Structure 1
């Protein structure tokens, strides 16, 4: 798995802190995919949520990027549930980000 996404400043509520500009830039680079369809979903995600993406959500998105392009596309298009694609990622934070990815 990827290293945790750094936050703007360490606090007790690290999961709810917004991603700083550097962490957001690294996450965008990490999200580049081989399938155009995935890139389109992710581009729309960043257009809609980049300015309010939390550290927790950034880490969940980074975890999703560990999947193959085909698995990620199946999730975007809701052809398979997360529990079937990668049971270890079937967590509330990843489900939240997946819902945001699908909300175009």
Structure 2
């Protein structure tokens, strides 16, 4: 499973999301590749799951993977609930 974390520019938000998600997946015993990207570099890339701030929704409408939008980027519980639900849904479809 490949998970992309996105931010608008640079890698601050995407790296923070990656670290949170790595921690969550490790605790759940789930293996996945989590890659931080900025929005511009991500275009043309593929991922099974794309985790991004809600303000990026319009840029991700044509994304190939399932998009998970996060409202509060420092709320680990919101990230955990949304990401685990999407990961489990993906794994059930395998």
Asked if these proteins are the same fold (TM beyond 0.5), I'd say no
Name whichever structure is richer in strand by fraction: 2
Q: Indicate the structure with greater helix content.
A: 1
TM-score by length of 1: 0.35
Q: TM-score under structure 2 normalisation?
A: 0.37
